[in-house]
Structure 1
Amino acid sequence: MVWILSKLQHDIDKLNTTINARKRAKDELEQRYGDIKKIHYQREIELDEANRRAKNILARIGANKDQLKTDKVIKEKERDVINARISEIDKALNELPKKALTEAYLIATTLTKTFSSKEFPDKPFDVLIIDESSMAPLPYVFWAASKALTFITIVGNFKQLPPICVSDDGVSKKWLGRSIFEIIGINSVKDAFNDKRISLLDTQYRMAPKIADILNTLFYEDKLKNSPSTEKLILEDDLSGQNHLIFVNTSSLNPWCSQLSAGGRFNIYNALVSAALAFKLLPHLDIDEKIGIISPYRAQARLIDKIAKDWSIQDRIRVDTVHRFQGGEEKIIILDCVEGPGAKCWSMLDDQRPDSEAQLLLNVALTRAKCKMILVGHKDYLFSSLNKNSILTRIIDLICSNGVEISSKMLVDSYLATDFDK
């Protein structure tokens, strides 16, 4: 009996709990219903007010609802006519560039635009001229050439860098890593000189003669001439005077070169010296002129750029790799060799390596300078690790014998933290 009473009490308690829960739910619903009624009442008042105002407006303009509906239909038709006309005008405008290009006597564009631009005309050209062709990928050149009817003129320097090909695949290197000059068999000055298809532009207008003479000796077999105007390319500063060739020797501090796991290299001291050179020479340039700092390694270029930002001179210098600097020029060029003890004995600037592009890299770097070519390097390390006949050691010898050699201590005499805070 006790057990039955206990169970009945449990069921009663459970039922009471359910009843209480339902009462609370009912109270909440009644509360919400009351709130909704209030909102509904307020909206009815607002609707009546809106209807009243609408009637007043219609009365003022002398219109009615049916007339407004009719006018709406008419305006929508007019809108559709206007939109259709706009579409016609947009189509005509979009066709104008292509029409203009089709009728033009001369079109200047990039190779990429010849196949990627919708506006580029389908009509072929009588004559095609490709400039800066040494770095042009072969498929781009061949595509552009397919657009020419009579003549193709290829302008470029076979002594400069070919297109960049990041793949090691043989097919990729064959079609993406070679320049058009290799295809037509022009790999040396002798090849160019003896080829009837070639017209040599043998007079340079960019560089001071002292800089050009090094290139003439090492790369162009004394075929390069200097325009008389290059004699005026003189820039004086309180570090090197009017010298066009400067070698900054870092040997006294024996700076180490570090190598990244991905293969790139950086040299903290060299980066400081390169940035310090720019900092010291900038006052000798006009405010709209920049100094170029070139490195064979991307990691070193990024390091120098960060130092330049810390010193607030990043807007006055251009820091980049040799590949990305091709085609550019500045009055002052600083080439940071980067190499030093610490990294394995290998260098992008060693032309004695098989398949080395060192000669092309150095030729591109040196030909960017107009007034001053400054080389930053660990002379002792470079001369001990490279072959004595390597192109880089010969460049250093020519710079030192025809220009000036200074110690990097004149610029940065330590690795103290203060050297990072100009």
Structure 2
Amino acid sequence: MTTTKVYIKEWQQALQKEINHLKKFGGNRFVVSNGRQLSTENPYPYYFDTSMPLGIPVGSTVKLEWGGMTTNGRVLSSEGNGIILGLDDSLGDLISEAFLFHDPWELLQQLIDRFDEMKKSKRKLARVKRLMNPTMETKHPVEKIKGNIHELVLRSKYNPVTFVWGPPGTGKTYTLARVAAHKYFKEKRVLVLSHSNQAVDVLITEITSFVKRKNRFKVGDILRYGAITGERLSNENGITTSQLIEKQDPLLADDRNKLFEERRLLKQDLARSFSTRDSKDLLDLESKIAKVLAKVRQKELQFLKEAYIVGTTLAKAAIDPAVFEQEFDLVILDEASMAYVPQAALAASLGKRLIICGDFKQLPPIASSRDPLVEKWMKEDIFHRTSVVDSLNPDRLHPHLFMLKEQRRMHPGISSFTNQYIYQNLVGDHESVRKSRNKIVDKAPFPGRASVLVDTSFSGMYCINDKRSNSRFNLWQLLLSFQLIHEAYSTGAMSIGYVTPYRAQANLMNILLEDIYKVEKMAGDIIAATVHKFQGSERDVMIFDTVDSEPQQRAGMLLTGKNSERLINVAITRTKGKFLHISNLEFIRQNIYRGKTLRQLVEHQVKHQQRITNQDVGSWIQHQHPDLQWIYARKLEPVFHDIEIARTSITISLPSAMTLSEEWNAALLNRRNGVKLTIISEERWSDLQATQWIEKNFPYPFVIIDTQIIWLGLPLEGVRGIQPPYIAARLNSRMICEQMLGQC
């Protein structure tokens, strides 16, 4: 049996390997623009605009690349759409656009340090040993069990470590919250941990709500420590450190809020126009803020000492002595499948009892290095590494593995696939779930259908690699997905998720939503992201866009690799009432084996008559958006009208071996004087009098007018691989047009 010190040695080596990899190759890359040097003092402070809040912690190490120059630095301030960096080198007064690289390797170094300290504590070493070598014998009195919550209370009282398997919708948060509250009522101290702020927020909110319903809530007893993301938690009274400071020291809270608002306004001024005076004022303001935050810190430390239930992230627990130097009666690690094994070990060291809760059928931890130790300890979850999931059937689960077996989230039309193929019939549906979700199912698109495969076979060769990131995107499936979002929202869906394996596709959807849908001004809640962002959340309607299709010659590893089952499981199981799956069935059947989860999913949907084809587009599109119109592709008058009134430019893509008809030639020749015509084609011919030829074989046709309107699916003549009905889409979006032109 491996000793605890050997485990720790391997964990520290794995962490160091990952640190070395991140330092050498980097990872998270952001575009920053409009950079201005704020002073000539070293470290050289620069202010940059960002397209969105970057969320990089103050003090983090970063690297900046501009032109052929590279320099390191640290984050001095990062709020809103602006960031201040202290750079090691001066790169001049103005920087138009640069790449900012950041990887949280400092958090990994803190973990290494914690293990150095742990080696000196016999008590903590013993706790880690119990985690990594769970005995086959359990000590809780089985005969006293009255239900799921009571069983978990008993397990956590009598056994040092309890593993909880909580498949989606089985009441994991509900159950954990009541166990934590039970310990609180017994005046025991509980530490709630998770890898994400969102997961911590959700669990702390549920604990607080339950304790309040029992009329046993006392301000200061339950504390959310660190950044928060949930609106419900921000509306609670006396849960966060900020709320407690406002109650106990309103003058300090007022000083902090005024300084933050002053900084926000000053950054707005800097974003509009640069002035030496503003830059000096901003640096002085940051110094004042630092002094106020030091006072805030002292208040926070006192709150932590007095709280009975503390909720924070694994990262915060590793870096903040106010957490890792304390002792708790029970530690609850939620969403444990996404935590590194060394993080789970740190959690175990902080309390007398430990509950490890998660779903090892969902996404595993993420690490970059391919070193064997990193693969072993940072790319697989604690459930697998402790062997508590080596055999899975209802009669012989591991003695320390407690499973929640009844899901109440998904309509049975959705869960029928995951219950059978992912959870091997270990999970069933609660009797109420069908009735409770029918209100969502009965709405458009596809009223009365809970699960639908929108099959894009034979619609064209739209899947290409993004030039910057090499991630894949598919503009045709993107527009169909947007139409599904619009149909759902137009008929009252208030919670909509768009999920895809590819970051480039998720980014394009966010651009589209921002440009023509103005999501931030809508009454509903619409989120577009890759799968990892959705773990731990749920939506009324989920749209799963797999992106892959021709002209790609094989499916991506995200959909076929080792963790593809987990990724697809998360995409499906976020859904309450309507799961809309956008995939190219023909491509999947030709490129993915029958045993792979995505192939099983499409075949399951076909078998259960859940498939919608191109033939049905005209029937399900009921709410045309003013900026996205779907038109019969042989009806050319609308596109010719756009060409006729073009003011500045026309760009047309003609895939290999495709030529224009006489109608198209005439329309382009009759364009207004001075309108630039750009043709993207491998072959040249002279009769069009093009202003510019780009000799490239772009795989699908499109027409872009004045960098504002894009026609997708036209010209139609000579396009290979499509079948009727012939459909074209007209999109009015400058941002998408610019993205497309950037790919040519």
C-alpha deviations, 1:223-273, integer Å up to 9, x for none? 112123312112222431121001101113134211246441111101111
Q: 1:161 aligns to what?
A: 363
Q: Call closer, same or farther: CA 1:155–1:141 in 2, change over 3 Å.
A: same
Alignment pair present for 1:170 and 2:372: yes
Counterpart contact for 1:274–1:334, Cα < 8 Å: yes
Q: Which of the residues 172, 186, 197 maps onto 2:400?
A: 197
Q: 1:299 aligns to what?
A: 504
Query: How far apart are the structure 2 equivalents of 1:90 and 1:363?
Result: 42
Query: How far apart are the structure 1 equivalents of 2:541 and 2:391?
Result: 27
Q: 1:274 aligns to what?
A: 481
Q: 1:31 aligns to what?
A: none
Query: How far apart are the structure 1 equivalents of 2:518 and 2:565?
Result: 31
Query: How far apart are the structure 1 equivalents of 2:390 and 2:610?
Result: 31
Alignment pair present for 1:333 and 2:542: yes
Q: Which has the higher contact order (CA 8 A, sep 6+)?
A: 1
Alignment pair present for 1:367 and 2:573: yes
The TM-score with structure 2 as length reference comes to 0.42
Q: 2:636 aligns to what?
A: none
Counterpart contact for 1:158–1:186, Cα < 8 Å: no
State the SS of the aligned residue for 1:239.
Answer: coil
Which 10-residue stretch deviates more, 207-216 or 396-405? 396-405
Q: 1:114 aligns to what?
A: 317
State the SS of the aligned residue for 1:366.
Answer: helix
Query: How far apart are the structure 2 equivalents of 1:311 and 1:95?
Result: 46
Query: How far apart are the structure 2 equivalents of 1:90 and 1:372?
Result: 46
Kindly state the Cα deviation for residue 97 of structure 1 after the two structures are TM-superposed: 3.2
Alignment pair present for 1:319 and 2:521: no
Q: 1:246 aligns to what?
A: 452
Q: Call closer, same or farther: CA 1:114–1:406 in 2, change over 3 Å.
A: same
Counterpart contact for 2:445–2:484, Cα < 8 Å: no
Matches within 5 A, 1:33-112: 94-112=297-315
Q: 1:133 aligns to what?
A: 336
Q: 1:56 aligns to what?
A: none
Counterpart contact for 1:185–1:191, Cα < 8 Å: no
Counterpart contact for 2:413–2:450, Cα < 8 Å: yes
Counterpart contact for 2:472–2:502, Cα < 8 Å: yes
Query: How far apart are the structure 2 equivalents of 1:194 and 1:187?
Result: 7
Kindly state the Cα deviation for residue 290 of structure 1 after the two structures are TM-superposed: 2.8
Q: % of aligned pairs identical?
A: 27
Query: How far apart are the structure 2 equivalents of 1:93 and 1:405?
Result: 57
Q: Call closer, same or farther: CA 1:237–1:421 in 2, change over 3 Å.
A: farther
Paired residues in the alignment total 328
Q: Call closer, same or farther: CA 1:299–1:92 in 2, change over 3 Å.
A: closer
Kindly state the Cα deviation for residue 152 of structure 1 after the two structures are TM-superposed: 0.8
Q: 2:688 aligns to what?
A: none
Kindly state the Cα deviation for residue 91 of structure 1 after the two structures are TM-superposed: 8.5
Judging by fraction of residues, say which structure has more helix: 1
Judging by fraction of residues, say which structure has more strand: 2
Q: Call closer, same or farther: CA 1:97–1:330 in 2, change over 3 Å.
A: same
Q: 1:343 aligns to what?
A: 552
C-alpha deviations, 1:266-299, integer Å up to 9, x for none? 111011111111011112235xx23101110101
Q: 2:676 aligns to what?
A: none
Kindly state the Cα deviation for residue 118 of structure 1 after the two structures are TM-superposed: 5.1
Q: 2:595 aligns to what?
A: 389
Counterpart contact for 1:255–1:270, Cα < 8 Å: no
C-alpha deviations, 1:162-220, integer Å up to 9, x for none? 11112223333333222111211144661785200011101112111221111011011
Q: Which of the residues 219, 222, 230 maps onto 2:433?
A: 230
Query: How far apart are the structure 1 equivalents of 2:294 and 2:601?
Result: 59
Counterpart contact for 2:391–2:398, Cα < 8 Å: no
Q: 1:25 aligns to what?
A: none
Q: Which runs of 5+ in 2 are unaligned?
A: 1-291, 622-629, 634-701, 703-710, 713-728, 734-744
Q: Call closer, same or farther: CA 1:209–1:188 in 2, change over 3 Å.
A: farther
C-alpha deviations, 1:100-152, integer Å up to 9, x for none? 32233222222122123354362211111111110012222211211112x11
Kindly state the Cα deviation for residue 303 of structure 1 after the two structures are TM-superposed: 1.3
Counterpart contact for 2:565–2:596, Cα < 8 Å: no
Q: Call closer, same or farther: CA 1:92–1:308 in 2, change over 3 Å.
A: closer
**What is the alpha-carbon root mean square deviation over aligned residues?**
2.5
Kindly state the Cα deviation for residue 392 of structure 1 after the two structures are TM-superposed: 1.1
State the SS of the aligned residue for 2:403.
Answer: coil
State the SS of the aligned residue for 2:402.
Answer: coil
Query: How far apart are the structure 2 equivalents of 1:103 and 1:310?
Result: 48
Query: How far apart are the structure 2 equivalents of 1:90 and 1:251?
Result: 57
Amino acid across the alignment from 1:209: P
Counterpart contact for 2:393–2:426, Cα < 8 Å: no
Q: Call closer, same or farther: CA 1:318–1:94 in 2, change over 3 Å.
A: closer
Counterpart contact for 2:535–2:570, Cα < 8 Å: yes
Amino acid across the alignment from 1:365: A
The TM-score with structure 1 as length reference comes to 0.71
State the SS of the aligned residue for 2:548.
Answer: coil
Alignment pair present for 1:379 and 2:582: no
Structure whose CA Rg is larger: 1
Kindly state the Cα deviation for residue 95 of structure 1 after the two structures are TM-superposed: 4.0
Q: Call closer, same or farther: CA 1:186–1:259 in 2, change over 3 Å.
A: farther
State the SS of the aligned residue for 2:312.
Answer: coil
Runs of 4+ in 1 over 6 A off after TM superposition: 89-93
Counterpart contact for 1:203–1:224, Cα < 8 Å: yes
Counterpart contact for 2:463–2:547, Cα < 8 Å: yes
Counterpart contact for 1:98–1:121, Cα < 8 Å: no
